[in-house]
Homo-oligomer: A and B are copies of this chain.
């Protein structure tokens, strides 16, 4: 029986608590959250014990820790948990700062710790099916990759301000997806972006809401990422991999398979409207993978290095947007 602790019982923390409950042979022993209401929900639903971080890390029965606290606490908590000998699953980002991220990875390295990062899309069955096909020889080599990610609606301005910006908060998932799918060094990033949905995104959120980014890899593969904070039809997340012998696509997931055909045309269901619904199954498989790695001492599919590399791309995109020219990643 694997015993885990949850730090942070907010929205995404509860998603992981639920995911844990569906993995066999695992028990969520502790939950930590300064908000009593938040932790109580997890206590009630899964029989976890509410405890301060110190006690959790001191309990030798605890095998692993899930860090779902606000982003600016991640780095410190990872280091403490790793030093305490716990395996760590951390929601992205490790930090929005590159140097801090590198420091954390050094600690992980030094202690030979296990750190898994929460890029859940890698565990989504649609994308894993794409990844599997991409590696088939008959498909031929990848030439153009297109990733479209559009959220149903923008987050609040304070969230934007604290998030590190669209590139680090939202497109970072696409950067990781790109790295995972092309499986090759990305050497340049050119970003365009603006506050096209809402001018206050810039003034109040100190952010952009719409971005189009072009990356190239060392062998010249072309990667396009389109992001928007708002899509009327719902949570729109697509990937297209154009290869020598085939073009592979993962389309967005619709709410239902109902089709209503009337005078105005053929109407299919809107898309899933929330990333937690869209990726519910991926969160479960992600947690299964973490537990599996923890049990057998395997390196997770998504490591701290993946977090660092995606952050570098986000940082480069931010700089490119500011300087209006492509940034090289060769010396990064």
Q: Which residues of A contact B (CB under 8 A)?
A: 22, 24, 45, 125-126, 129-130, 133, 139, 141, 143-144, 146, 148, 150, 188, 190, 192-194, 196-197, 210-212, 214, 216, 220-224, 226, 228, 230-233, 236, 242, 244-271, 324-326
Chain B residue numbers with a CB within 8 Å of A250 are 256-259
Chain B residue numbers with a CB within 8 Å of A261 are 231-233, 236, 246-249, 270-271
Chain B residue numbers with a CB within 8 Å of A264 are 267, 270
Count of this chain's copies in the oligomeric assembly: 4
B265 contacts A233, CB within 8 Å? yes
Chain B residue numbers with a CB within 8 Å of A262 are 232-233, 245-247
B244 contacts A236, CB within 8 Å? no
How far is it, in angstroms, between the C-alpha of A233 and the C-alpha of B245 when the chains are bound? 8
Chain B residue numbers with a CB within 8 Å of A324 are 188, 326
A246 contacts B226, CB within 8 Å? no
A129 contacts B258, CB within 8 Å? yes
A258 contacts B133, CB within 8 Å? yes
Q: Which one of B223, B226, B247 lies within 8 Å of A233 (CB-CB)?
A: B247
A196 contacts B212, CB within 8 Å? no
Q: Which one of B190, B232, B263 lies within 8 Å of A263 (CB-CB)?
A: B232
Chain B residue numbers with a CB within 8 Å of A232 are 244-247, 261-263
